[in-house]
Chains A and B, each alone.
Chain A
Amino acid sequence: MRLVGAELIESREILPGQWLQSYHAPALATGSRAGQFVHVRTGDLSGLVLRRPFSINTADLATGTITIHFRTVGRGTQWFTHLRPGDTIDMLGPLGRPFEVDPRSQHLLLIAGGLGIAGVRALADEAIRDGRQVTLLFGAASARDVYPTSLLPDELEYVVATDDGSVGRTGFVTELVEDYESWADQAFACGPEPMLRALARLATTRRGRLGVAKLGRKRGAGKADPPGSPAARRKAFLQVSMEQRMGCAVGACLGCVVMTTSGAPQRVCREGPVFASEEIDWEGGWGR
């Protein structure tokens, strides 16, 4: 975790209301892994008291740059769009725990809902660099929100679903999963909570149908790993990147928790944002 000044290199509106910004922050780019995030201070001090968390969309070690991808939803995010190349902002990161890919996994399925693409985008780069095959399933409301192919690696298979059918398959992105679940060794998802909940359900039934637990020396056999550990995530078929309203982003304020099946709330900023899907209590059981 470092607190650095990051200089804006490039800023553009890649989709209506959605921005992609590239910052020069070598100290953050070097140490970061896919799934981690940065916590950024707005320069608008007229009443905005909290930083804004952004997934590290991509990290380029050669140039020392990271990119963030966000939608303008309020005064804070609006402020970022007014920055000009050369402006420096205050970034804290890299924060949180990354995705963990099993070394044996050759086929990775990435599933993104809308802006959730920012949460899994870096994993596509990492996996392709490591020689893995990657399929990205992307869901959006309509064609105007579909993430541009030009911004994705060439090696990646890109499948799109839109709610209104204006491009790709008509329906939710979760309906695409069926075609890929036997191909995929592991899946990684980021998006709205209803989407993640549906995927978690699919992952559970997949374990019953396609799981390998007692079929010999394959993933799933062996000793149990402590919940929340990198090893537990590495063994999970589905890892999800969770979103929550955040305060400090370093684990101090306990604002950004999610309920887990162990009955103890876990911090999205510290124990997450990436969790194994079976760690999350999808019913949000707070006992009340």
Chain B
Amino acid sequence: MKAKRRVVTASGASVPPARRTPTVRKPKSPFLPARQRGPGAVTPLTSPDPGGRPGTDGLPVDLRVDLGRGLVLPNPILVASGTFGYGTEYAEVVDVNRLGGICCKGTTLKPRIGNPTPRVTETPGGMLNSIGLQNPGVDAVLEKYADTWAGWPVPVIVNVAGESVGDYVEVVKRLDGMPGIAGIELNISCPNVGRGGLQFAIDADAAASVTAAVRRATDLPLLVKLSPNVSDVRPIARAIADAGADALCAINTLSGIAVGPARERPLLGNIYGGLSGPAIKPVALRIVYEVSQVVSIPVVAIGGVTELADVLDFLAVGAVAVQVGTAIFADPTLPVRLVDELAGECRQRGLTSYRPLIGTALPKRAGAPSSKGAEYRP
């Protein structure tokens, strides 16, 4: 394993803990070892960046991403919820602390046993899953993993799911202020649970109300994950942005089914599953392209990333970061490798930051994109 270079700022260890406020919160500075990181240790955005592989030739490349409300990721390659467990499962074969962020398995208020089996099946260029949000509940998750996460430099974003607005709010309240939690990813788009979940993602008013309720309950950085299972995602994205989300994630899985071998019934125990993998990349690209033009908050892309070209495609249509999901199952080392490859790509192009790669394929416009008043014109 390669030794990680850590840049320790002179003030890092000596700054007394400051009272947490919503705007200057730096819950997870990637530049200091955990023990030297205090709540008040703020790393200036202009400091040298460790995102690229240390020791390789050329200038350091700034890969940091600001997702708002103080959530600054060390690089724009995250791992997607549901594909990386709680970060500990792959830790034997992956250096998780080189990731830009970890979105943990969907977490609910009460424990859930999930859906009947079979729960996963391979499909052409992808897979269907219908786990049904199996998880031990937020309290058990915190008890088991919060300390581990607090000791990791990598930001951990907790994916939160629920059946009602009250559920979401209650889970978020328990996460608020816990060490080791860098942010919330609101899962309002799980296609695999009977009640709740998806209903919030297909209606702009419902999406806005759950976002606003969660916003009131916490000042943790708030990401909201969009569903592709809608006719037009733009009004929903705008409503969520207006309701106070700090960033959007797109997309969750596409609803689909597979047929069993004997063709007597659908294959999955839950009948319906969510399609992921390279097969959905064009859909994800389209939605990121649409959403990034109608909101002014950062968009994190998810959907079929298997190589650097996919990362560059998503950046080009306006994403500031990407999540790698299904591809991890085939190649657990892919996300970390993508971090190195992205830095290498920037160096090759003579860039000191990856930011010039963002939005290059979007329609040229005079001003900055607005989150308000941009109406859909076919």
Contacts and interface: CB of A to CB of B under 8 A. Distances in A.
Interface in B308-328: 326-328
A84 to B, nearest CB: 22
B330 interface: yes
A250 B89 contact: yes
A255 B274 CA distance: 12
Contact of A49 (B85, B119, B127, B134): B127
A250 B120 contact: no
Contacts, number: 107
A255 B131 contact: yes
A244 B118 contact: yes
Given A49-B330, A51-B330, A264-B113, A252 B93 contact: no
B263 to A, nearest CB: 16
Contacts of A248: 83, 85, 89-90, 328-329
Given A252-B84, A253-B82, A253-B129, A49 B120 contact: no
Contacts of B279: 47
What does DSSP make chain A's interface, helix, strand, loop or mixed?
loop
Name which of A247, A252, A270 has the most chain B CB atoms within 10 A of its CB: A252
Given A49-B126, A254-B134, A257-B114, A247 B120 contact: yes
Contacts of A246: 120
Contacts of A249: 329
A41 B93 contact: no
A1 interface: yes
B125 A47 contact: yes
Given A1-B93, A244-B118, A254 B131 contact: yes
B332 interface: yes
B330 A41 contact: yes
Nearest to B118: A245
B260 to A, nearest CB: 11
Interface in B70-87: 82-85
A245 B125 CA distance: 17
Given A51-B329, A255-B131, A245 B92 contact: no
A252 B121 CA distance: 16
Contact of B125 (A1, A49, A90, A247): A49
Nearest to B261: A73
Given A245-B119, A245-B120, A257-B119, A92 B93 contact: yes
B119 A255 contact: yes
B92 to A, nearest CB: 5
A252 B126 CA distance: 17
A197 to B, nearest CB: 15
A188 B329 CA distance: 30
A286 B113 contact: yes
Contacts of A3: 93, 332-333
Nearest to A284: B116
A165 interface: no
Given A252-B90, A255-B119, A265 B329 contact: no
A257 B134 contact: yes
Interface string A47-65: 1111100000000000000
Contacts of B326: 49
Contacts of A245: 117-121
Contacts of B118: 244-245
A51 B122 CA distance: 10
Given A245-B118, A284-B116, A288-B116, A253 B85 contact: yes
Interface in B55-99: 82-85, 89-90, 92-93
B103 to A, nearest CB: 12
A110 B83 CA distance: 35
B330 A251 contact: no
A154 to B, nearest CB: 38
Contacts of A251: 85, 89
Nearest to A251: B89
B129 A255 contact: yes
A50 B122 contact: yes
Nearest to B327: A49
B264 interface: no
A242 B278 CA distance: 30
Interface string A276-288: 0000000010111
Contact of A47 (B89, B124, B131): B124
Contact of A92 (B83, B105, B332): B332
Name which of A2, A49, A251 has the most chain B CB atoms within 10 A of its CB: A49
Contacts of B114: 254, 257, 265
A258 interface: yes
Contacts of A49: 122, 125-127, 277-278, 326-327, 329-330
B90 A250 contact: yes
A51 B121 CA distance: 11
Closest 10 A/B residue pairs (Cβ): A252-B85, A255-B120, A252-B89, A47-B125, A286-B116, A1-B92, A49-B277, A250-B89, A3-B93, A245-B118
Interface of B: 82-85, 89-90, 92-93, 105, 113-122, 124-127, 129, 131, 134, 269, 277-279, 326-333
Given A2-B92, A248-B329, A270-B89, 6 more contacts: A49-B127, A50-B120, A51-B330, A252-B328, A254-B114, A257-B134
18 contacts: A3-B332, A3-B333, A41-B331, A49-B126, A50-B329, A245-B121, A247-B127, A250-B85, A252-B84, A253-B83, A254-B82, A255-B119, A255-B129, A256-B117, A257-B114, A265-B114, A265-B134, A286-B269
